[in-house]
Structures are given as C-alpha cells and as structure tokens.
C-alpha cells in the first residue's frame, strides 16, 4: 500500500512538473497581484526557443531569463504595456504570441483566409468538372448480348 501511494505521488509530481514552470519561489514575486500581472504578461510572450509556448510555459533558459526580466520590470512598478513594449522593442514582433496587424504582419494574418479561399475554389472547380463530364455511353446491342452470355455462364 505504501509503495502504491509513493508511486502515485511520484507520478503526480511528474505530470504537474511542466505545468508549474514559474512555480519556483526564487522566480515568483512576493506580491501576489504583481505576480499575477507578471504571469499575464508572460502568457502573451513567445518563447524564442520553443516558439509555440509562452515564456510562462517554457523551461528553456531564454524563457527563464525573459520571465526574470518581466518580473524585475513589474516589481519596479512599470505598467503592463510598458513591460510588453520593452520586450517587443528588444525582440521584435516574433516575441508576441499575438503579433500586431501592420504591413509586415498582414500576410501572416491573411494567409489562413487565402488558403481557405483557394481550397474553396479548388473544390468548386472539381465539382464543376465532375458535373460537366458526360456519363458512360450506353451499351451497344453486341455488348448487351455478350454481357447476357457472361451472366449465364456465372
């Protein structure tokens, strides 16, 4: 029974380890409101190593450094926008999980619409080709007789 309890405890620790990326007391701010604000900012910033994770979810060294930077600036009393703007100015649009809409990022935002439109056009063209294609020609008398003979042999 003890082994089972220890095994379950170990499994729970392994399963929640990645979810608590900021769970280290050394990284957390003592003020819960400031820590919540820092985590909110961190969830909007992309880990430059993992690329599909926020810095709050990533275990990469760069993400850890960015978390520390965000917390330092929040602790210094900067607003959320100024912290975000500082990181954005330093790392560019790529660091934002939701990049702004501008001339540089417009193709990124438009790409899903373009791909869906091209897919819809392709489906319409395929449908028209199928509808316009004539059906099979009717059997001639000779072919019908041959088919009847084959059916009798079966």
Tell me the mean pLDDT in the region 115-123.
96
| Span 19-75, pLDDT tens digits | 444 445 667 898 999 999 999 999 999 998 987 899 999 999 999 999 999 999 999
On whether the 2-95 domain is CATH 1.10.8.640, my answer is: yes
For residue 114, the Cα-to-chain-centroid distance in whole angstroms is 19
pTM of the model: 0.57
pLDDT, tens only, 79-106: 999 999 999 999 998 899 888 888 888 8
Instruction: Compute the mean pLDDT over every residue in the chain, rounded to the nearest whole number.
Output: 86
Radius of gyration of the chain measured on its C-alpha atoms: 31
| Closest among 35, 38, 72 to 55, alpha carbons compared | 38
d(CA 22, CA 68): 10
Measuring CA to CA, which residue among 47, 116, 43 is closest to residue 80? 43
What is the spatial distance between Cα 136 and Cα 115, in angstroms, rounded to a whole number?
35
């Amino acid at each position: 029974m003890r082994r089972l309890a220890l095994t379950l405890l170990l499994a729970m620790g392994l399963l929640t380890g990645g979810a608590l990326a900021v769970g280290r007391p050394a990284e957390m701010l003592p003020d819960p409101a400031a820590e919540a604000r820092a985590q909110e900012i961190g969830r909007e910033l992309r880990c430059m190593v993992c690329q599909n994770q926020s810095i709050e979810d990533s275990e990469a060294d760069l993400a850890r450094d960015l978390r520390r930077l965000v917390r330092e600036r929040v602790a210094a009393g900067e607003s959320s926008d100024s912290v975000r703007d500082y990181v954005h100015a330093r790392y560019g649009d790529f660091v934002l999980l939701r990049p702004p809409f501008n001339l540089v990022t417009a193709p990124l935002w438009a790409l899903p619409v373009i791909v869906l439109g091209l897919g819809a056009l392709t489906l319409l063209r395929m449908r028209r080709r199928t509808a316009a294609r004539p059906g099979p020609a009717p059997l001639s008398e000779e072919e019908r007789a041959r088919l009847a003979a084959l059916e009798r042999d079966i």
